[in-house]
Structure 1
């Protein structure tokens, strides 16, 4: 075997017979965003939801679903013994709905009225705090809240990755192994992203666009610095004015 692969893009029979769609170019938006909405259509593997019912004031049902919270609420509202329909109060993205549901139940175990049921007697604020503590994000949150914990945020659907086709489409000539080149590009991108992240910036990818966004925590920090500097300037000005009289 040669030191370098004679063909950096090894091809199997499946790849030869598979038709790959043209790769859409990425539009880089140079202006750094401070707020962006999470697309309404975006989902992970499922949801952990919080439901209320007017017939049961002060009680909240916390469960999970792999469909959508509204459909689940409608489903259990038609159950026997349910006098009024359930209302979705909160819904949280989840990559592992069953496990995340168990974590929330454990976190709120002292408020659970029956260990065999999913009902909890506590405030909606306490429930929301529990979800924050376990690291789940509510669907009405904005992208800048995600940027507090993630360097790359994408709302795009995954596609079949074929490095040979990808590099050819991007007009990048590779000498050597394509997998090694892709790994090097990822490592280089990670280095650049980490440098950007020092200033609270994360990369958002969606619908063919790439844009940096400032995290929510960093924006709060910048506002704090601005107010502190303004107060300091005001105090300096007041001191000078007092000295003139």
Structure 2
């Protein structure tokens, strides 16, 4: 084979190798695709694509003000981090409520401070069980979503009501003795050994609306298993807050009522 023939053979071999190389690359790299025709669907733009979280369903509503409450968290039988929404305006509160359908939040629209405008009352249940119900109440301006303080009914009972449990019965006084009564021992069937030294209040606290007024009800406990009456406190707006203005006690044959300051 002369030199010219040898050079032609080398060039032919190189050409075959180069063609094989491009065929190999073409198998790995797909050919460019022509632009697709519009499908009629909205195309995702750069920076988009995060799916918005589905809005939580309300756990309570109030028709008159359009208020609704949703919960950001649910764990261990409790709704937590509640969000109040009125007319599209939302505000989170560090509130909680049990998840039991029988004890979901309650809301009322009521002119509590007698200014001609309704306030929004929110009643929450934070615990419940046999002989137990823990409740909280909040009063808000439904436009500004600002809250006005509500006095704890237990503080009013401690201040204005004195009780003493003896072997002979139960002595109850409201307002420094201005109204008092004795409940005879014979009215109760439980063992005196299980009686408290004084009536207990606070294991059950209920709130409701009566005659367009906020009312707190606290059953009176003689022993862990015995409730023998009830203290009822009626609220009004005074000095920039909501405070009880009347304290009543009913139990057995006793019925007492006294204005409180």
Q: Same fold (TM over 0.5)?
A: no
Task: Name the larger-Rg structure.
Answer: 2
Structure with the higher strand share, 1 or 2: 2
Tell me the TM-score normalised to structure 1 length: 0.20
Structure with the higher helix share, 1 or 2: 1
